[in-house]
Amino acid sequence: MSRPMNRRQDNHKISRELFVLTYGALVAQLCKDYEKDEDVNKYLDRMGYDIGIRLIEDFLARSAMRKCRSYSETVDVIAQVAFKMYLGITPSVSCSNTTENEFFLMLDNNPLVDFVEELPPGRSSLCYCNLLCGVIRGALEMVHLAAEVTFVQDRLKGDDVTEIGITFPKRLEVKKHKRNK
Amino acid sequence: MADSPLFQALHMEMAHALCADQEKGLGALEGVGFRVGQGLSERLTKEMPSFKDELDVVKFLCKDLWINVFKKQVDNLRTNHQGTYMLQDNQFLPLSRLSNGKQYLEEAPKFLAFTCGLVKGALSNLGFDSTVTAEVTAMPSSKFQVVIQKS
């Protein structure tokens, strides 16, 4: 029948489809249970956080990543290794010009919204993929990096692109001096 | 190797989060499973020829649907040929991570509700109304009883 390589790729596709379908069903159920978009968003974020604090172990075990030495390296790993591993996409990374602690992940081909053309009526403030923000935040916290993670732009809400913003606390100046010694 | 850590993680988290309010939660979990069952059976049967009969449909659940979601087939299928089917999975994936035996038995319903909905949803998409209940006496083995309503 199919060559082993094809079957492996098929299996990944099947697994991902199941996750995408389940995620959509979950969002639909939450919209049924909670009237306010804000409540659904918070719920998704919290669930994502709980998943993230556990998923990090799976990630570290499967990727055998060494400790990252900078915020920039960390975000690159999230985009190029983690997103690739779990969702099969590689968001592009950009850094805010003004500071070195604010990054953006641009999601070009987000599989989570594969079956979603637009937000349900009356749900214009829904952050459909908010689970992702929670997952990233939870996972980062387990490697001792506190960060704020939110959707800064969302195609489903009418923006041109879908972008996740990751903001780390500013590094203290003291560390710089120590390095120069 | 077929692996779905994201789905497993999501299923586990749904079981915990949605069931903070146990009674409402089981219904919500089943609702999520129902929608997934509808969508999944739609996608899986797209390229397939139509089913011969009711038993054929149930066999599809035990094989194609189960493999897609739980990476294995149902181990045992019994029927009274009058609309009642019993599906037994001796290594039910969601439970196999909980325990082997009687420990955490009271937690089991949370991890079965989604699947009950899944089966119901799949059958619904294929034109059958049903009730699905699950029973666990010793983890990780589970039995799903499907009663297809006569139209």
State the complex-level ipTM. Answer: 0.90
What is the predicted pLDDT for the residue at A97?
Answer: 65
Q: Give CA–CA dist A19/A170, Å, rounded.
A: 35
Contacts of B33 in chain A (CB under 8 A): 25
CB contact under 8 A, A15 and B43: no
Q: Which two tokens stand for residue B60?
A: 């599809």
What is the predicted pLDDT for the residue at A174?
Answer: 46
Q: Helices A4-33 and B5-18 sit at what angle, rounded to 10 degrees?
A: 20
The pLDDT confidence band at residue A106, using thresholds 50, 70 and 90, is very high
Q: How many Cβ pairs within 8 Å bridge chains A and B?
A: 76
Task: Evaluate if pTM is beyond 0.95.
Answer: no
Instruction: Say whether domain A8-167 belongs to CATH 1.10.260.40.
Output: no
What is the predicted pLDDT for the residue at A7?
Answer: 60
Pick the more confident residue, A111 or A6.
A111
The pLDDT confidence band at residue A8, using thresholds 50, 70 and 90, is low
CA distance A147 to chain B (A): 22
Residue in B1, B10, B18 closest to A19 by CB? B10
Mutate to test the interface with A, among B1, B3, B24, B32 (most CBs of A within 10 A): B32
Mutate to test the interface with B, among A26, A32, A130 (most CBs of B within 10 A): A26
Q: What is the pLDDT of residues B48-85, one digit of tens each?
A: 999 999 999 999 999 999 999 999 999 999 999 999 99
The CB density around residue A120, as the number of other CB atoms within 10 Å, is 12
Q: Which residue, A144, A156, A146, A50, is CA-closest to A113?
A: A156
What is the predicted pLDDT for the residue at B21?
Answer: 79
Q: What is the pLDDT of residues B80-139, one digit of tens each?
A: 999 999 999 999 988 887 767 777 778 888 899 999 999 999 999 999 999 999 999 888
* CA–CA distances in Å: residue A140 to residues A14, A137, B14: 28, 5, 21
Contact in structure between A27 and A40 (CB atoms under 8 Å):
yes
pLDDT score of A178 more than 70: no
Q: What is the mean pLDDT of chain A?
A: 88
What is the predicted pLDDT for the residue at A179?
Answer: 52
Nearest CA in chain A to B15: A47
pLDDT score of A138 more than 90: yes
pLDDT score of B2 more than 70: no
To the nearest whole percent, how much of chain A has pLDDT over 70?
88
Give domain limits for chain A: 8-167
A49 near B CB under 8 A: no
What is the predicted pLDDT for the residue at A99?
Answer: 74
Q: What is the mean pLDDT of residues A16-25?
A: 93
The pLDDT confidence band at residue B3, using thresholds 50, 70 and 90, is low
| Residue B71, Ramachandran bin (φ over 0: left; ψ between -120 and 50: alpha; else beta) | left
CB contact under 8 A, A14 and B13: no
Pick the more confident residue, B59 or B2.
B59
CB contact under 8 A, B69 and A18: yes
What is the predicted pLDDT for the residue at A175?
Answer: 47
pLDDT score of B148 more than 70: yes
What is the predicted pLDDT for the residue at B139?
Answer: 85
C-alpha dihedral (B133, A115, A16, B18), degrees to nearest 10: -40
Contacts of B25 in chain A (CB under 8 A): none
What is the predicted pLDDT for the residue at A2?
Answer: 44
Contacts of A21 in chain B (CB under 8 A): 35-36, 39-40
- Secondary structure (3-state) at A159: coil
* CA–CA distances in Å: residue B12 to residues A56, A101, B3, B94: 15, 33, 15, 8
Residue in A25, A51, A86 closest to B35 by CB? A25
- For tokens 């949605």, name the residue: B18
Residue type, B35: R
What is the predicted pLDDT for the residue at A154?
Answer: 94
B68 near A CB under 8 A: yes
The pLDDT confidence band at residue A117, using thresholds 50, 70 and 90, is confident
pLDDT score of A166 more than 90: yes
B108 near A CB under 8 A: no
What is the predicted pLDDT for the residue at B47?
Answer: 86
B26 near A CB under 8 A: no
Nearest CA in chain B to A15: B4
pLDDT score of B23 more than 80: no
